[in-house]
Chain A
Amino acid sequence: MFARFFSAALLAAALAVPALAAPYWVAWDGDGFPENQGWERVYGNEDGPHEGGAARTIHEGVMTIDSLRSNQIYDFYELDRPIDPDPGELFVAEWRVQIAANEGNPGAADSGVVIAPDGSGTLGLSYVVDRIVSDLEGWTEPIAPFEFHAYRIESTDMVTYSLWIDGIFTRNGTWDLFSLNTSFVAFGDGVQGARSFADWDHVRFGVVPEPASFVMFVLATLLTSRCRHLLVPSQCWGVGA
C-alpha cells in the first residue's frame, strides 16, 4: 500500500513540474528484444538489409549481440522521436554494456550508441574492448576490458554534453552538428567492416527537469528501475510519451 501511494505521489509530483514540455523517459532494460518494445531493429549482412543479422540471446536481463560470424553483419536498434529538452530541462541517456570482443578493419569499432538531436547532429560513441571512442570528435577514453561499464550522458542544449563512466565524470564534448541524422537514439552493432560480441544490460534516455528538480528525476529513475521487473516495461512512467 505504501509503495503504491508512493508511486502515485511521485507520478503526480513529476507531472506537476511547471512550465515545461512533458518530460519523457524511454527505458529498455534487457527484459525483451528491443523491437518488441518500440524500437526498430535494423539489421543485415553481406547479402543486404533484412538478411541474417547477429546471433542474439537474452538471459537474466542482458541481451547478447554476437556478430563474430561476419564483419558484414550489423544489427542495431533505433528509436525515432523528438529527444531534445526544453529550457529548464535536461536530456539524459544512460546505458550499461560489456564488450567481450571486437575485430575487423583498422580502427573499426562495431558496437556503440548514437544520439541524434532534433536539430540534426550526431554523437557516435563506439567500443573496442578496452576503449570508448567518439567517432566524429576523435577522442578515446580507456575502459577496463571485459567488464560491464555504466555510461551516462547529460545535456541541456544538445550541443555540448557531459559524460560519466561508472558514475565518474569523464569528460565534456560536443555533437557534430553538421549531420544528416536527426531525432533518434540507437544502440547495438551498427557497422559493416567489424565484428563483435557485446552484452547490453540496459539503454535508457529521456528528458527530465534540470537539477532544481533533480530529486524528482532520481526518484523517477528508481521507479523506472522497478519497472524492469514488469512484463511490459513500456507501462513504466512516461514511456512513449
Chain B
Amino acid sequence: MKRLFAAVSATMCAGAALGANFIRQWNSAIDPSKYTISQVQRTITIHAGDTETFKFEAFDDVTGDPGDIDAIVIDQDGAGPVNLMVFGDPSAGRLDGARHVKKIDLSNTLSGTLVQLRIAGDLGENGGALIPDDVTGSVLIAGDLLDGFSATNITSGYIVNGDLNGRILIDGALHNGTGDEIEIEGALGSPTAAIAVNYDGRSDSDDDWDSGATVVVDSTPYTGNTPAARIWNVSRCKGDMNGDRNVGSLDGSPSSSGSPYYVARFDPEQCEADFPGLEGSRCWHGDCNFSANPLNPEDCGYEATDDAAFVNLVEHACCLSDGQALWAGDVDHVCQVGLADLSALLTNYGTASGATRAQGDLDGDGDVELANLSALLTVYGTECCPADAPPTPSEGDATIRVVAFDTGSYTTSGFAGESTHFVFDVLIELDQAADDWTGCGAAVKRASGATFYVISGASNPPTPGSSQPGRHRSFFSVPYAVTASNRFNAPFPSGGIVGAYSPLGSSYVYSTTDINANWYDTTGSSNDGPAAVLPVTIDVSGVGGADVSGGFGSVYFSTTGLIDGSDIKVADLAAALAHAYDQGEPQTLTGAFYVNGE
C-alpha cells in the first residue's frame, strides 16, 4: 500500500513539473467576447469578426515551449471576414508560435470569409483547413501542409469552395496525402492569387512538392511547378529569379531594367506584382554570394557583388542551392573552385576536428584530410556547377597495389639492387578512362632495423636524380609509368605535398625511418593508370637474420602477413588513393614488407 501511495505522489510531482498547454489571443484590440478558448480541449472558437486580426499562440505554461492548437472553428453568425494568425509573439520571444495546428474549420461560417491565415507551425494531417468560402487574402503556413485543406466531406478532396483571390503559401512541403491536397473549386480569381510550395526557396529539410501531391484549380490538376498558372514549387536555386527551376538567360541581368533579376533587386513591389507567390524567395534567390545575415530577416543580402555572382550563375546555367550542398569544392562561395579554395584547405590541412567548410571541411565531419582534398581536386578549376545541383560524379573502380621492381642490374657504390636495396612501386589503376587521379596518401614505417633509401637534403617535393640508381630513391609523384623519365625529373608538374596521411598531420615526414605524406594533383592527368605514384626503396642491410641470397623476391609485400615463419617484417605500409569517381572515401591499402629469414 505504501508503494501505491508513492506512485501517486510521483505522478503529482511529474505533473507539476511539465506544465500545461496554454493558448492565448494576444491582439489586445480584439474583444474577448469574440472568441472562446477551451484550454482543456485546446480548441478555439471565433464567434465574430470584422476583418479583425486574431492572433493566437500556444505554449507550455511553464517552459514556454511552443504548444498545440487542436482546432480553430470560425463560428460566425453574420459577422465580417476574419484575419487569423496562429503566430508567436516576437516580444515574448516565442517566434515559433504554435508548433502544430491540427485543424482550421470554417464550415460554420455563414457570411464571413478568411482574409488571412498565417500558421507558424504545421497545419496538421487528417485535419487541415476547412474553407467553404472564398479566400481573399493569403494562407501562409511556415511549416508543412501535412495533408491538405479539408473539405466538408473529407473523402472527396480538400477544397476551397470558391475562388482563391489571395495566396496559399506553404513554407514547408506539400505532402501526398489523401486525395487532392488542395482543391480550389473556383479559379485563381485575382491576378495576384497564387499557390506556392517551399515559399522561401530555401532547402530546409525536405521542403518540396512531393510526387503525387496534387493541386486542383477549377478542375485542372497540377502536380508540380507551373509558372503560367502561378502555382509554384519554388526551387532552391540561387539565381532562379523567374521561378522556372532553372538558371539562365530568362532570369535576367543586372543591367537590364525590367528583367527578373533587376526587378527583384531594385523594385520589390514590382517583383511581387510580376511573380505573385515568389516574393518569399526573392531575397534568397538573388543573394548569389550568400552575404545575407541569416539572423536578420530584414537583410536581403543584395549588393553589387551579387551581380557578378549572378552573371556567373547564369553563364554556367548554375544552381547553387544552399550553404551545405554547395558545389563540392567551392569553399569560399564564389561559384568557382580555384586556388583560393585550395589554399584555404591546404592552410588547414591536418585539422583533426572542429574545422568549418571555409577551412576546407567539405564533408562536414570536422576534419580536413585526404577525402576533402580529393573532393576539391575533383572539381578544381571549374567555374561553376551544372544546372540544378552539384554534379554527381560518375562511379568508377580504382585499385591501388604494390609491385616489386627488379633493380638487380643496378649495382654501384651506395646502391646494391636486390641484395641490399629492394624497390617497390605503389601503382594505381582506374577502370574509367575519364576518371582522374586526384591524390594519394602513404605512410611507411620501418621495422627490424631496415631503412628507406631517400634523397639526401630533399626539398619539397623530393626530386630524385634521373640517372640510375638515383631514380630508385623513395619519393612521391603524380602517376607516371614506372620508368618514365619525367617521373624523376618533374614529379609534380601540377600539385604538391600537404601534410601527413597516417596519422593525420599538418606536416609531412620524409626520412630513412618514416615516410608519411599526402600529395595531390590539380589537373586532369592523362597518366592515370596503370601508373606509379610512389617508389619505396628498402635497405635491409641492417636487418639481422635477413636472407637475401635469392635476390629479387627476397623482400616481398603482403597484405595478409608473412609467408614463412622465419621471415622478418621490415616495414609497414598504409596507402590511399583518391580519384574523381571514388564516390566516397579513398581506396586504401594496408600491408607490410617482409624479408626472407635465414
Q: From A74, A79, A193, name the one whose CB has the most chain B CB atoms within 10 angstroms.
A: A193
* Interface pair B1/A235, CB less than 8 Å apart: yes
From A71, A188, A240, B4 is in contact (CB under 8 Å) with A240
Interface residues of A in 175-190 (CB under 8 A from B): 178-181, 186, 188, 190
Q: Which residues of A contact B124 (CB under 8 A)?
A: 178, 180
With contacts A49-B61, A135-B43, A192-B37 known, is A39 near B75, CB below 8 A? no
Q: Which residues of B contact A192 (CB under 8 A)?
A: 32, 36-39
From B8, B22, B33, B45, A38 is in contact (CB under 8 Å) with B8
From B4, B9, B41, B103, A235 is in contact (CB under 8 Å) with B4
Taking residues whose C-beta sits less than 8 angstroms from the other chain, chain A's interface range is: 35 or more
How many Å lie between the Cα of A192 and that of B35 in the bound state? 9
Q: Does B102 count as interface, using CB distance less than 8 angstroms?
A: yes
* Interface pair B126/A194, CB less than 8 Å apart: no
Interface residues of B in 35-60 (CB under 8 A from A): 35-43, 45, 47
Q: Does B172 count as interface, using CB distance less than 8 angstroms?
A: no
From B4, B8, B20, A40 is in contact (CB under 8 Å) with B20
* Interface pair A108/B36, CB less than 8 Å apart: yes
Q: Which stretch from A99-107, A163-171, A199-207, A218-226 is at the chain B interface? A: A99-107
How many Cβ-Cβ contacts under 8 Å join chain A to chain B? 131
Q: Does A42 count as interface, using CB distance less than 8 angstroms?
A: yes
Complex: chain A residue closest to B12, CB-CB = A38
Q: Which residues of B contact A78 (CB under 8 A)?
A: 15, 20, 40
How many Å lie between the Cα of A46 and that of B39 in the bound state? 13
How many Å lie between the Cα of A38 and that of B15 in the bound state? 8
Q: Which residues of A contact B33 (CB under 8 A)?
A: 71, 105, 193
Q: Does A142 count as interface, using CB distance less than 8 angstroms?
A: no
Q: Which residues of B contact A196 (CB under 8 A)?
A: none
Q: Does A122 count as interface, using CB distance less than 8 angstroms?
A: yes
Q: Does B29 count as interface, using CB distance less than 8 angstroms?
A: no
Q: Which residues of A contact B39 (CB under 8 A)?
A: 42, 44, 74, 76, 190-192
* Interface pair B126/A35, CB less than 8 Å apart: no
How many Å lie between the Cα of A42 and that of B20 in the bound state? 7
* Interface pair A186/B40, CB less than 8 Å apart: yes
With contacts A40-B15, A107-B75, A180-B68 known, is A72 near B40, CB below 8 A? no
Complex: chain A residue closest to B19, CB-CB = A49
* Interface pair A180/B32, CB less than 8 Å apart: no
In the complex, how many angstroms separate the beta carbon of B54 from the nearest chain A beta carbon? 13
How many Å lie between the Cα of A81 and that of B12 in the bound state? 12
How many Å lie between the Cα of A188 and that of B148 in the bound state? 34
From A40, A74, A79, A105, B16 is in contact (CB under 8 Å) with A40
* Interface pair B127/A178, CB less than 8 Å apart: yes
With contacts A38-B11, A241-B4 known, is A49 near B22, CB below 8 A? yes
Q: Which residues of B contact A107 (CB under 8 A)?
A: 36, 45, 47, 75
Q: Which residues of A contact B12 (CB under 8 A)?
A: 35-36, 38-40
Complex: chain A residue closest to B10, CB-CB = A240
Q: Does A232 count as interface, using CB distance less than 8 angstroms?
A: yes
* Interface pair B8/A234, CB less than 8 Å apart: yes
Could you name 7 residue pairs across A and B whose Cβ atoms are closer than 8 Å? A36-B12, A44-B61, A107-B47, A186-B40, A190-B40, A192-B39, A240-B4
